[in-house]
Amino acid sequence: MTESSTQSNGPNSRQWPDKNISSIPLWVYSDPEIYQLEQERVFGGANWNYVALSAEIPKTGDFVRSNVGDKSVVVTRGADGVANVFVNRCAHRAAAFCKEDHGNATSFMCPYHQWTYDLKGSLTGVPFRRGYKGQGGLGPDFKMPEHGAQQLKVTERNGVIFAAFDHDVESFEDYLGPNMLGYFDRVFDGREIEVLGYTRQRIDCNWKLMFENLKDPYHASVLHVFLITFGLFRLDQESAVEMDETGRHGALISRKGAQALNTATEQMTNFRSDLKLKDPRLIDVAKEFPGDISVVMQTVWPNLILQQQSNTLAMRHLVPRGPNAFDLNWTFFGYADDTPEMRQRRIRQANLMGPAGLVSIDDSEILSMSQKGIRPYPEESAFAEMGGTGTEDTKHMITEAGIRGFYKHYIKVMGL
Amino acid sequence: MSTQLKPSDIPASAPKARVIVPADLRFEIADLYAAYTDTLDAADYKAWAEFFVDDAMYRIVPRENYIRGFPIATMHCESKGMIEDRAYACEQLNLVQPRVLRHFVSGVTIESAEGSDRFKVGANFLVVQTCFEQMTEIVMAGRYIDDIVRRDGRLLFQSRLCVYDSLLIPTSLVAPV
């Protein structure tokens, strides 16, 4: 990596107008150069990317394929019990050698020329390394340790695995900051996690729109009929938008209140006072966390949304697929000591979330419509002045401070 | 050794059993599938809910969850009430970009029959959608795994499990399959 690609304005020709975080230039959502720079600086570099839950690889040799940005990586459990992450790219001819999405292995062999890697991604075998009958093969200066699959720095906290390309990255705890770490530990408190299943979708919009969506409580107050009508997340409830010091991580926090007609619901045209579920078990919510907070939607820069909405818990893992699409991979989970009733609640309430979620359909559809509006207008900008132009934490939902905080950090990281 | 998927794990492969039933029953089952498909193609979700008994189970499940025994579904209804709630949400509550959905069902296979009142049936499905300014695209391909019962003379679904191979859904799944 050259100095010029990590410093100053980098290889891109774009400049964020006046560094005004209340006005977002639309080219950030569609420019292929920006996309490439994001792979290097936002997903690469000294950033902790979510890759897997520990419960997906409990035993030695267990592995799962994941992504850091758009790069395929393999997450393994070593014989020493430590989680490893290495890129799914053979050091020889670059084949993505791990072709299964999960499994258990003692080693990984690239099928092309049978170069073999151990559970840490270190190269352990090269066929005909010394040639045959004294002919061919690799030179005497070939050193196996220099030709492993690229290994990432890994951290594992209370059942969640993160990885960073830059091994000089700060500790995960410092990276999150004390307040955001508190919300993370609220869900991952050390209890054993049970994976309940996956759903996956490829949404035809830029990945940042999804991240912003979880930093924007304003939309939730008007768009989502299910949240508003059943009081699962509403602006007239006691709520907050909080961030870490940099603005890169955020949390939308809500306390459940009674859902009733009031001065606020007059402006919520999607409030349906007459809506009654024929089977209300869908929203039979049981309190399970200490305190009176009922919802925490946490965004962990750059690729994770940690969802705690009522009793549905999920990791939403963002995998960018070019400037105009990204994969949203949902890993639903509960706790190994959940009662059968709580487990069933999580299965039922998952109806709210995922590719067919009664709440999240609204998001994937509107974000797709956003991208359609964005693409032809790279030189225009989006307006984000709800709640002012600052990035302070707030105790209400009518604000876009979380989006502004995100871009404050984004501009810095991207050198825009 | 990795836990590679065996073809026998995959519901889209050949069914385990097949039974011969009289032609009139075979046609009656074929008609049920045709009527169900026709109802979904017409986006008449209220009528769709009427294909199920009161204590019906309706689930749309990605193949990976089905094979690995994970309970999470993309859609999960464990009563006709939940099916009706989903139907109402599809028609009234969710923001959805306009589209035409079309369903193709093939290889309807009767795997077991108890007289003329209870059947286990499997079939392949393909769902495609057409939106403004876009080519028609595949929403999902998969297999129905069904329990069918006769109630008041009419064949209805006691259970319809839709196991989809596609895994990645294009943007949103806005309706039942």
Q: Which residues of chain B have pLDDT under 50?
A: 1-9, 12-13, 15
Strand ranges of the sheet holding A62-68, from the earlier edge strand across to the other edge = A83-87, A71-77, A62-68, A102-104
Residue A139: CB atoms within 10 Å: 6
CA-nearest residue to A225 within chain B is B93
State residue B20's pLDDT score. Answer: 87
The structure tokens listed for B75 are 């859609």
Instruction: Give the model confidence (pLDDT) of A259-287 as tens digits.
Output: 555 666 667 777 777 788 999 999 899 99
State residue A2's pLDDT score. Answer: 40
Q: Which residues pair with A252 in a beta bridge?
A: A241, A297
Instruction: Give the model confidence (pLDDT) of A323-354 as tens digits.
Output: 999 999 999 999 999 999 999 999 999 999 99
Q: Looking at the complex, does the CB of residue B60 fall below 8 Å from at least one CB of chain A?
A: yes
State residue B2's pLDDT score. Answer: 38
Distance from CA of A3 to the nearest CA of B (A): 39
State residue A135's pLDDT score. Answer: 94
Distance from CA of B30 to the nearest CA of A (A): 28
Instruction: Give the model confidence (pLDDT) of A84-143 as tens digits.
Output: 999 999 999 999 999 999 999 999 999 999 999 999 999 999 999 999 999 999 999 999
Q: Whole-angstrom Cα distance, residue B94 to residue A225?
A: 7
Half-sphere exposure in the Cβ direction for B60 (13 Å, CA): 28
Q: Is the separation of the CB atoms in A163 and A54 below 8 Å?
A: no
Instruction: Give the model confidence (pLDDT) of B8-39 as tens digits.
Output: 445 544 546 788 899 999 999 999 999 999 99
Distance from CA of B105 to the nearest CA of A (A): 21
Q: Looking at the complex, does the CB of residue A321 fall below 8 Å from at least one CB of chain B?
A: no
Q: Whole-angstrom Cα distance, residue A339 to residue A165?
A: 39
Query: Residues A87-93: contacts with CB within 8 Å, 24+ apart?
Result: A87/A121, A87/A149, A87/A150, A87/A152, A88/A149, A89/A149, A89/A150, A90/A115, A90/A149, A91/A115, A91/A123, A91/A147, A91/A148, A91/A149, A91/A150, A92/A126, A92/A147
- Using only the alpha carbons of chain A, give its radius of gyration: 23
Q: Do A223 and B95 touch (CB under 8 A)?
A: yes
Distance from CA of A2 to the nearest CA of B (A): 37
Q: Looking at the complex, does the CB of residue A381 fall below 8 Å from at least one CB of chain B?
A: no
What phi, psi does A318 have (nearest 5°)? -95, 130
Residue B166: CB atoms within 10 Å: 17
What mean pLDDT comes out for the span A65-82?
98
- Using only the alpha carbons of chain B, give its radius of gyration: 16
Q: Whole-angstrom Cα distance, residue B92 to residue A229?
A: 13
Q: Do A277 and B85 touch (CB under 8 A)?
A: yes
The structure tokens listed for B68 are 């690995």
Q: Looking at the complex, does the CB of residue B112 fall below 8 Å from at least one CB of chain A?
A: no
Window from A2-16, A39-53, A307-321 with minimum mean pLDDT: A2-16
Q: Which of B75, B85, B94 sits opposite A279 (nearest CB)?
A: B85
This prediction has a pTM of 0.94
- Count CB pairs under 8 A between chains A and B: 132
Q: Which of B65, B84, B171 sits opposite A204 (nearest CB)?
A: B171
Q: Do B72 and A199 touch (CB under 8 A)?
A: yes
State residue A1's pLDDT score. Answer: 38
Q: Do A364 and B171 touch (CB under 8 A)?
A: yes
Place of tokens 């073999």: A116
State residue A5's pLDDT score. Answer: 41
Q: Which residues contact B59 (CB under 8 A, 6 or more apart)?
A: B73, B75, B76, B77, B160, B161, B162
Ranges of beta strands (E only) in A2-109 are 23-25, 49-53, 62-68, 71-77, 83-87, 102-104, 108-109
Tell me, what DSSP letter sits at residue B80?
H
Instruction: Give the model confidence (pLDDT) of A38-54 as tens digits.
Output: 999 999 999 999 999 99
Q: Which of A201, A351, A366 sits opposite B168 (nearest CB)?
A: A201
Q: Do B70 and A195 touch (CB under 8 A)?
A: yes
Instruction: Give the model confidence (pLDDT) of A186-207 as tens digits.
Output: 999 999 999 999 999 999 999 9
The structure tokens listed for B82 are 């939940």
Q: Looking at the complex, does the CB of residue B64 fall below 8 Å from at least one CB of chain A?
A: yes
In 3D space, the residue among A72, A332, A78, A386 whose CA is nearest the CA of residue A222 turns out to be: A386
Give how far Cα A300 sits from Cα of A171, A282, A359, Å: 14, 28, 21
The answer to whether the bond into A302 is cis (omega within 30° of 0) is yes
Q: Whole-angstrom Cα distance, residue A113 to residue A102?
A: 22
What phi, psi does A103 have (nearest 5°)? 160, -160
% of chain A at pLDDT higher than 70: 94
Q: Is the separation of the CB atoms in A92 and A110 below 8 Å?
A: yes
- φ/ψ bin of A242: left (φ > 0), alpha (ψ from -120 to 50), beta (otherwise): beta
Tell which A residues from 72 to 111 touch B, by Cβ distance under 8 Å. 100-105
Q: Whole-angstrom Cα distance, residue B84 to residue A279?
A: 9
In 3D space, the residue among B11, B29, B35 whose CA is nearest the CA of residue B118 turns out to be: B29
Q: Do A355 and B71 touch (CB under 8 A)?
A: no
State residue B72's pLDDT score. Answer: 98
pLDDT-derived band at A10, boundaries 50, 70, 90: low
Q: Whole-angstrom Cα distance, residue A104 to residue A216?
A: 40
Q: What is the identity of the amino acid at A349? A: Q
Give how far Cα A387 sits from Cα of A126, A251, A268, A296, Å: 60, 16, 18, 20
Place of tokens 């705690």: A308
State residue A265's pLDDT score. Answer: 66
Q: Whole-angstrom Cα distance, residue A205 to residue A203?
A: 6
CA-nearest residue to A327 within chain B is B168
Ranges of beta strands (E only) in B71-117 are 75-77, 99-114
Q: Any idea what the Cα angle at residue A296 is, between residues A183 and B96, rounded to 5°?
A: 145
Q: Looking at the complex, does the CB of residue A48 fall below 8 Å from at least one CB of chain B?
A: no
Q: Do B70 and A356 touch (CB under 8 A)?
A: no
Q: Looking at the complex, does the CB of residue A153 fall below 8 Å from at least one CB of chain B?
A: no
Q: Whole-angstrom Cα distance, residue B140 to residue B40?
A: 15
Tell me, what DSSP letter sits at residue A123?
E
State residue A7's pLDDT score. Answer: 45
Q: Most B CBs within 10 Å: which of A108, A198, A199, as the mutation test of the B interface?
A: A199
Q: Which of B1, B73, B167 sits opposite A200 (nearest CB)?
A: B167
What phi, psi does A17 have (nearest 5°)? -60, 115
Q: Whole-angstrom Cα distance, residue A45 to residue A381?
A: 28
State residue A257's pLDDT score. Answer: 62
State residue A258's pLDDT score. Answer: 53
Instruction: Give the model confidence (pLDDT) of A243-264 as tens digits.
Output: 999 999 999 998 876 555 566 6
